[in-house]
Structure 1
């Protein structure tokens, strides 16, 4: 399913939460919205989901305005909100059975989804007794209960431990590989680099950059940092390496910055100085900080 945002604007009083955001998500694409707190990500997602009407601009999902709440469109969309509320006094299994009944989903889909999100052993526990991470996984299962063609996920792994987060990445990747379109917001740059075909970095309600994670990183033109164990080379020897642009030597490491790492690594190999070596290039997090800054946000 194709998703389009055309010059979306949304204000809350004097705050312009969304200020002319435009992008297109192609069918079958895994697309990420990245930005600091208050950047306008969730509001943009809610407009595309049909939960909010923009002050101006146009949203389109498969050629249809989601704000019309067309039942034929809604049956093809799965939504996981940033904060989810469950029915009181229902277990995890009963929550999924209830959501599934609204879509006419077969009962056996509940078992499959519980296994998918790792909640089979907790199926009989009341939702309000689940941990935060378990509730987050249950909310994702509820978003998938109708076997949607398009899935919106608002910070789906925010409350998960690293193991659960990695397992869920596998679930989301398989979901996308099966032909579904996935649109998510996340604060985890590694998550976006791993999963997303393209990302849009937004701040103060505007799109600052949009491309594949790899292309955004290449465009940063940040030097590669090669770190060596302390004492491997002295400062003069490090500066003499071919391609070295900057050198920093302390009691922790010898660090060589370069935009042309091949000759540096070749020279180090010739010196038999590769033990303990690490190479760090720019990442999507570097792009994010370069575009949005480092100041604290309320």
Structure 2
């Protein structure tokens, strides 16, 4: 496992990490959460990603139980704040919700601090100055080591950096955008100036496009698949064009390349992401230990993707 710096910070984070979205509390119980985290940790993963919204807080509670088996300094743990409940002040990026959301997340995780904390989405109803000052408070008071954003635009991030400088606050360190072979615009184009100007780090999510890049939807949607169980996810993928015949045809072509390289198309897709130097870590998800093992093997397989192979892949997906 390779460890990369999180942006310009001194934090070293495993290039592949394990996230809990959809799986922890929905597909995995306590024992299976422990098993998946143990497999990941033993393979070199040191970053485990979470959020207050995942399984309505249950995801954090399950991870909190599993974390008891590790030395705290060996781990990088995150949470994300935005959707905390149904009350008028239980969501968004106001100072009240950011602080209360953080305290509640720490209780569920059974931790004194998280390493990374994210503003899970931009909040047009809260002044950016209020959000930046609240995140500065959270970091300066030891509730988190670094703060960042998730699914913010270039303009929103640039403003956050400028406001942080004006108010003498700690600026964001990282952004968590969706990034895979079918969703590339933000990471590969929109954020280019942010890498150079601010040293922004990336903890990317949905590396396999909700399973499309595993090849399991090439012919139909299996009954035991995530898309079959979560109709909302399936409808969303169809509406945004990800689950299209055009993309399925691309996956079939990528599967042939993967087979020639003696790897699975999911591993090829993860290895392709790791070739991007601006990516600090790729957050993977898994509903069983075998998936964890299979995904993490991409770390050692990425060297098979030489310039010629990368050109062949890019000719298919671009």
Q: TM-score range by the shorter chain?
A: 0.3 to 0.5
TM-score (normalised: structure 1) = 0.37
Name whichever structure is richer in strand by fraction.
1
Which structure's CA Rg is the greater one?
A: 1
Name whichever structure is richer in helix by fraction.
2
